[in-house]
Amino acid sequence: MAINRAAMKALPIQGYLDYKGIDYKTEHNRLRLVDHDSCVINTDKNVFFWNSKQISGDLGDFIAAYEDVTPKEAWVRWSEFGRHYNGQDETEKAKYQASARENNYKFNWQRWRIAQTTNNSEDYLVNERGFDATFVQRLAKADFIKQGKPRQDRQTKEWQKPAILFPWHDENDQVVGLDQQGTEINFEKYGKRGTQKKVAAGSDTRYGYNFRTGNGADQLIVFESPIDALSYAQMHFTEPTNKNTTFLSLSGTDHQKVLSQLDRMKQLNGHLPKQLVLATDNDLAGFKAAAPFDMLQFEGMTNIRQIPTQGKDWNDQLKAHDPAIKTLTMDENQQQLAALETFTQQAKPAVAKATTDEKQVAQPQRVARQQRREDRKGKSRERNEEIIKDTLTRVQNYQNDPKEVQQYLDFVAQGQNYSPRNTLLIYGQRQDATIVMGYKQFAERGIQVNKGEKGMKIYGAPKNLQSIVTPAGDRVYWRDATAEQRQQAKAGELETRTVKHYQIETVFDVKQTNAKLDDLPKLLPNRPVNLATDQSPEHLETVYQTLKKYAQDEQHARVVDQDQGAIKFLADHKPMTSHGVAKGATAINRQKPDEPTIILRPDLPVTDRIATLAHEMGHTALHQQSDDKIPNGVQELQAEMTSYVVLKNVGVEPGDISEKYMSDWTNHLKEFSDLKEKSPNLITDVTRASTSITNYLADRLSDGQQITHTRRAAPNIQPTAVQLATNQGIQDQTNETRGPKR
């Protein structure tokens, strides 16, 4: 009897998934496996694509790949399913039949429902993906990104946040397809990816998300996703006027799109680009995607491979604030690919091909090994958490000693870009630290940590982890849950929660490495200006104007510094001091508390204006809104410390009034100690407020000169976020501002 191969190929892959109980998620005309989310089934064409393994094909190919069996064994299982499927009634078969409309559907941009705003998309790209807000606004204005409309989930009936749309343009600037990037974060629903990500139905697969700088003719850079392409562009194309580059996203790893794009570029420009850059991910799938171009080389065009040095993809690199690129030849790409494939093959558990008896023996051994690893990891984390707990307790006591506080603020003023909590942890473990990085960060700069050095423990970037709440009230991470617990959670019988998990990481100070003096300039944080040695009027005025712009743009504060009526206002509303009329004040309108006004005397020399404005910016950051009255002395202490860090950062020393600082701080620190139960940590708040300002200065100034482009995403600190929990009352004016006399 002849084998009807056409009938075998027509057997639905979705039907086989249901037959075998393989979990999947539905994405329009596609299915995505739960346990292997890079494996996608196109139900219209009845084929699968396993991107991470670079495998595709029909049901027989799927069975061989998914169940890791020989083609002969796959054929046996395929045939068994065929007998089962053909024995079903027509009603059962009908649900696997794609309609003619779906099979013939073509993308139509005019039918897409587009929102008039991109606020949700901008918020997601800035806060979740680490993009610079100004860069994202430019993308929206140029229609490089669009925003869909909120939609209702077909299964849960819940309304979902609108997706970001990345339109694909052809050579005539017509939209022929698009990527959809969900902004609803749900790890239970979308797996380890956390969000929904798909290509619009009917999109012309010869194209992908693309854009260019200049005429785009000299270079083609290829990525796996639109967000990777944009991440790379933000880091390396801030001044693209002389870079004629085309960016192309494959929305996967299909190298045929690259060939189609090269053909279009040749027709459009009359020649191929001089360079093809394969910037796919730093993983097995990324190296496989680049591999064909070791052989597909064209005259006049050089092929190279580029990979990020931080994380798997270019968005990981962007969030790490590290623009480093590792460039490989295509030969090196092939060598790396071979090594990864060998490692992956060796890493496969031996029980995969074992007999039933062998499996029964190996399974307990494997579980025991896994348990020992988990036990070691658990004990290591317990030790690290104890170190962190002891450090934070020790640092908490520093705030009672003004000299300790001054030393800590001097440390903060160095400009290291760490979170307040990590800044406290670094200082608490090594007070003489100057340049702090991880082992890999030093190694990437050609510097090695000395053997035997003990690192400092800090918290890494948070990860959203799904957890299950047991009937006893215990929380179990999804990765640690039993199959039964996961099933109960999916059925809604157990509550699930998303929690932020902070991994503990190890960092070292530069003094613990083999770094030489020549290495230090490239490691040191950018110094905005050193006013201790540079007193040029131009640089002083530049620092002041940059601080003023921060107050206006980031704190939404109006700065009044040229109004002659300010002296009378300050004399009427502020007490006289030994220095005469107060130098400045912050006024808060009770009807518009989010729009404070900083008032400065117009007769102040520029150095006093810098000091006074920094002090008032401390008030605006820490005391703009409050529900519960905090003593004025404590408020002045926090603003004074913020000002102190900012001034030290730009090279202004307290000089002969340092003893007065210490005396005032001693009195106010005692006053603050009575508020510990109802006020946030003093040092943490000051660190957060002052670091936001110093980062802003470092991003915009270098040795007193303005930087023409933004080098780091704007600080994500709202003017009132630091103190929202303090229940402090709104004040109409603050107390007198003191600044160092120059």
Residues 645 and 499 in one domain: no
Tell whether 580 and 686 lie within a shared domain: yes
User: What pLDDT is stored for residue 661 in this prediction?
Assistant: 52
Give 306-356 pLDDT, tens digit per residue. 999 888 899 989 988 888 899 999 989 888 888 877 776 665 544 344 444
- Where a domain ends, among 57, 88, 103? 103
So what's the pLDDT on residue 577? 58
* pLDDT at residue number 720: 28
Count the helices and strands in the chain (H runs, E runs).
26, 26
Beta strands 558-560 and 592-600 are: parallel
Q: Which residue has the higher pLDDT, 59 or 581?
A: 59
Mean pLDDT within 483-494: 85
Determine the pLDDT at residue 367: 52
- Among the candidates 80, 103, 126, a domain finishes at 103
Residue 468 main-chain phi, psi, to 5 deg: -115, 135
Considering the domain boundaries, does residue 545 fall inside one? yes
Q: Are residues 468 and 615 in the same domain?
A: no
**Tally of structural domains, the chain:** 3
Q: Structure tokens of 615?
A: 């002090």
pLDDT, residue 63, reads: 93
307 Cβ partners below 8 Å, 6+ apart?
Answer: 279, 281, 282, 286, 325, 326, 328
**pLDDT tens readout for residues 386-418:** 777 777 666 666 666 667 777 788 888 887 777
Residue 345 belongs to some domain of the structure? no
Q: How many residues does the chain have?
A: 742
- Kindly report the average pLDDT of the chain as a whole number: 77
Question: Taking Cα atoms as reference points, which of 397, 386, 426 lies closest to residue 682?
Answer: 397
Q: Are residues 506 and 549 in the same domain?
A: no
Same domain? 410 vs 476: yes
Q: Would you say residue 219 lies in a domain? A: no
Q: Which residue has the higher pLDDT, 355 or 207?
A: 207
Burial 127-139 (b: 16+ CB within 10 A, else e): eebbbbbebbeeb
Per-residue pLDDT at 354: 41
Does residue 631 belong to any structural domain of this protein?
A: yes
CATH number at residue 25: 3.90.580.10
pLDDT computed for residue 61 by the predictor = 92
Residue 653 lies in a domain: yes
Q: pLDDT tens-digit profile of 233-273?
A: 999 886 545 578 999 999 877 778 898 899 899 888 889 99
3-state secondary structure of 198: strand
Q: Helix (H, G, I), strand (E, B), or coil: what is residue 50?
A: strand
Please check whether residue 652 is in contact with residue 528, taking contact to mean a CB–CB distance below 8 angstroms: no
Indicate if 428 and 485 belong to the same structural domain. yes
Question: What number is the average pLDDT over the span 520-545?
Answer: 74
The pLDDT score that the predictor gives to residue 359 is 44
Q: Do 245 and 212 meet the contact criterion of CB atoms below 8 Å apart?
A: yes
Q: Does any domain span residue 29? A: yes
Q: Say if residue 678 is in the same domain as residue 645.
A: yes
pLDDT greater at residue 733 or residue 468:
468
The predicted-structure confidence for 111-141, as pLDDT tens digits, reads as follows 888 988 888 899 899 988 999 999 999 999 9
Do 571 and 501 sit in the same domain of this protein?
no
Of 274-288, 295-309, 524-538, the range with the lowest mean pLDDT is: 524-538
Residues 506 and 625 in one domain: no
Domain around 598? 537-726
Which ranges constitute the DSSP H helices of 95-244? 100-103, 119-127, 133-141, 187-190, 226-236
Q: Are residues 455 and 554 in the same domain?
A: no
Q: What is the pLDDT of residues 622-662, one digit of tens each?
A: 776 554 556 777 777 788 888 888 888 887 765 544 445 55
pLDDT at 733: 32
Q: Same domain, yes or no, for 614 and 716?
A: yes
633 and 565 in a common domain: yes
Q: Among 37, 71, 103, identify where a domain stops.
A: 103
Looking at residue 733, what DSSP letter applies? B
> Can you give the pLDDT at residue 466?
81
Burial 608-631 (b: 16+ CB within 10 A, else e): bbbbbbbbbbbbbbbbbbbeeebe
Q: Residue 265 domain-assigned?
A: no
CA–CA distance from 370 to each of 349, 366, 586 (Å)?
12, 6, 60
In a domain, 513, yes or no: yes
Residue 694 to residue 646: CA distance in whole angstroms? 6
Residue 105: pLDDT above 70? Answer: no
